[in-house]
Structure 1
Amino acid sequence: VRDAVAADGWVCEGNYARRTFDLRLPRADLIIWLDTPRLTCFTRVILRSALNRPRPDIPAGCTEKLDREFLTFLKYVWTFDRGHRPGIEAVRLAAGPSVPVVHLRGGQQIAEFLERLPAASEGCLE
């Protein structure tokens, strides 16, 4: 992560916030928080597992399993707001209190944000 964010331009996905915000946020210009509603996330996980379609993040031949690990993940999704959000927010405030945050709640807000972005040929966001 340290090497990745040493470059002039980069984008990082939000996982491992508590472990890497101290590396990322001091060099960040903007945080975009995709805050999909809990019920939407929960429904998507269940549908993705029930439909068991091939996914690029799962090795060939592997399938979704409705096992104990899956139930643990469902619990994580359902309790994220209460169990994990406060800790992530505390680390964000400690590591990058002055980094602006764009908080997008749901598909419509995400689509509207993307529509407002300049085309790639227009240069970087400033």
Structure 2
Amino acid sequence: MEELLMRFLIGGVVISAFALLGDVLRPKSFAGLFGAAPSIALATVGMTIARQGKGYAATEARSMVLGAIAFCVYAYAVGLVLMRYKRSAAWTTLSLLPIWLGISLGLGWVLLR
């Protein structure tokens, strides 16, 4: 319970800081980019370093980077399908989730064995 509370507090503070940064930057579309994911990742890595050491945190951080790369490919594929085939957003995002999973697992298998 204590760890959950710490994640909540650290994540909230960092999310607020990134939201302020996003509000200052132009264009305003950056506000969403800085809204959640980086702050949660920073909170998680910081707590992992404190609890389990730098080596374990480095592995976690590498995994986060690979997941982010896979997400970028997934987002690109979703954008292409939405623009080209004019499908619904819900159908497209759900049906292309295996791309994200496959690339994440593939990168992990190839680079982290």
- Larger relative contact order, structure 1 or 2 (CA cutoff 8 Å, min sep 6): 1
TM-score normalised by structure 1 residue count: 0.27
More helix by share: 2
More strand by share: 1
TM-score normalised by structure 2 residue count: 0.29
